[in-house]
Amino acid sequence: MNAPLLQVDDVSRRFGGLAAVSNVSFEVGRGEIVGLIGPNGAGKSTLFNLIAGALPPSSGRILFEGEDVTALAAPDRCRRGIGRTFQVVKSFDSMSVLDNVVVGALVRHPHAAAARRKAAEVLDFAGLAPRAASPAGDLTPPEKRRLEVARALATEPKLLLLDEVMTGLTPAEAQKGVELVRKVRETGVTVLMVEHVMEIVMPLVDRAFVLHLGRELAHGKPADVAADPGVISAYLGDRRRAS
């Protein structure tokens, strides 16, 4: 069996007396799409930031390609092949769409011409080539989500961390997002995605890892996770009672 691409080993993160993430362990294999899901306040974003290097863990280790990257800052992890999007879109609105993606491409292509070629290639892949010359501030919300993905892809990641890229999208827009994620995996990029809309995530992912109050609640195949009584109670219970 191949070694996992990502290993999260007994990781915790405390903010004062609050344990946002407690003793979490899981792995992501090469070529997988793994969903990190759970209700609001479950600790998903904190765990995501720990993996990306935006926050240091209070305890535990994070390994990427077998290397302990726990002490590495986010830019160093990016150079090693961990790319990410942000839950709150972080575009440079006065810059063109192309130049926004060039910012990501410069990680691998320090010469401007090569970075622009890479950015144009990624924009075409993400379906944003017609908007390349537009200011990023003129994009619609779904287009801004795609721009986030395109900029992350321009760093040429081995592991792509997608932070709620389907949030706020209509069903039709979300379906296009699903198709883009599948295209990303077809290129050989492994995907770990944070989402709270299970109807979107479950048909897409190979495995799901569920957090609740900062701890692992369940993990496994999507159908098994969706049928887990603990998941139904913690995650789906309010929705079922409201229906």
Full set of structural domains in the chain with CATH: 1-81+162-243 (3.40.50.300), 94-156 (no CATH)
Q: Determine the Cα–Cα distance for residues 73 and 75; give it in Å rounded to an integer.
A: 6
Strand segments, DSSP code E, in 29-174 are 33-37, 59-64, 67-68, 82-84, 159-163
- Supply the pLDDT for residue 199: 81
DSSP secondary-structure letter at 2?
Answer: P
Cβ–Cβ under 8 Å, residues 63 and 6: yes
Give me the tens of pLDDT residue by residue for the chain, a chain 243 residues long.
478 999 999 999 999 888 999 999 999 999 999 999 888 888 999 999 999 999 999 999 999 999 999 999 999 999 999 999 988 888 899 999 999 999 999 999 999 999 999 999 999 999 999 999 999 999 998 999 999 999 999 999 999 999 988 888 888 888 899 999 999 999 999 999 998 777 888 899 999 999 999 999 999 999 999 888 988 887 655 544 333
Q: Count CA atoms within 13 Å of residue 125 on its CB side.
A: 23
From the list 91, 191, 107, the residue with the least C-alpha distance to 156 is 107
DSSP label of 137: G
| pLDDT value, residue 235 | 65
Element (H, E) at 15: strand 6-15
Cα-based distances in Å from 68 to 11, 26, 197: 13, 15, 32
**Cα 51–chain centre separation:** 10
Where residue 164 falls (left for φ over 0; alpha for ψ -120 to 50; beta otherwise) is: left
Distance CA 64, CA 121 (A): 27
Specify which residues 19 forms β-bridges with: 14
